[in-house]
Structure 1
Amino acid sequence: MAQSRNTKKLFNYAYGIGAAIVILGALFKIQHWSGGGTMLSIGMIVEAAVFFVSAFDSVDEDLDWSLVYPELGTGNAKDKDRNEARESQSLLSQKLDDMLKDAKLDASLMSSLSESIQNFKGAAENIAPAVDSIAATNKYSEQLSLAAAQMESLNSLYKLQLDSTSRQAEINEQVTINAGKLKEQMESLTTNLSSLNDVYGGMLSAMSNKN
């Protein structure tokens, strides 16, 4: 046994080294480097020698593992696994049945639940039109609120326009009054200037007579 192991190790070394030399020789040949042909030849010779000697190597004996694991020979392991799987499924089914019994989930209860679901579905279908009507009413109310807000804005603008018009009328009236007063002041100024000219003319006449 020890001799066989050493021989295998020797062959493994020879295989690896020979293959490495062959690969390097091929690389040298491809690259056209010097010595490529020699290395390739040496590697091929080593490989050929190793294959030749390995032809006389002893064949490994097949071990009968059924002696250690009897199930491998009779197939009882698969049958055992199948039986365990069936037992597990049966146990799981039994547990589910027990849980349903404890929760009192029988056929009548499931039928009643189905009827309740159908009734709820019908009620929901009947509620749908009412929901649509409520939505339309809410939308109409929103439109009314928007229209009221717009009317309020228009009223505010109209009131502002009226206030501006009233103020403009007051301003125009005040301008008219001021224009009248200005006219009166201009007439009084004209009269005063005329009187002043008369006085000035009298003074000039008196001064001329004295001379």
Structure 2
Amino acid sequence: MSKKTKGKLDAITFIYGFGAAVVLVGAMFKFLGWSYANEMFVAGLSIEAVVFLISAFERSTEDKEYNWENVFPQLTSAKVDIESNDTAYPDAMTQFSNTLTDLTAQLKEMSSSIQHIKVEMQVNATKSTEMHSRISEFNEQMDTYNNNMRKINSKYNAFLNSGI
């Protein structure tokens, strides 16, 4: 377990928090119609005003200065390696050109894939249209079949009821 250390108590922050708490309790008193609500508001807002006044003159801590030479070791040497700078730009441009070539190849592959998907979707749409017309034709035939079965059933019932 690591030990957590707490910072020291800042008086301004404490008084500011205390004043805010008094204002909130005063608001609660006001909402509930209790006595001393106005006095609590005045006390809390006065504390807040004093804290704001004091904090206007408070000095801020300086930001931490970073040791950039630890991040960029090149900054420690006064001598600049001119030879490496001569090859750095052409190397970077070659790498950039290779990246663009790879991206172009990937874009062509994606375009081909999208075109293939488009063709497949058109084929599927045509097949779906054909299937729809076949299902409609089948439904018509089933309606005809059902009508014929009703006629047969009515003739059969008439035959049974005739007593022959």
* TM-score (normalizing by structure 1): 0.34
- Whose radius of gyration is greater, 1 or 2? 1
The structure showing larger relative contact order (alpha-carbon pairs under 8 Å, at least 6 residues apart) is 2
* TM-score (normalizing by structure 2): 0.43
Which structure is higher in helix share? 1
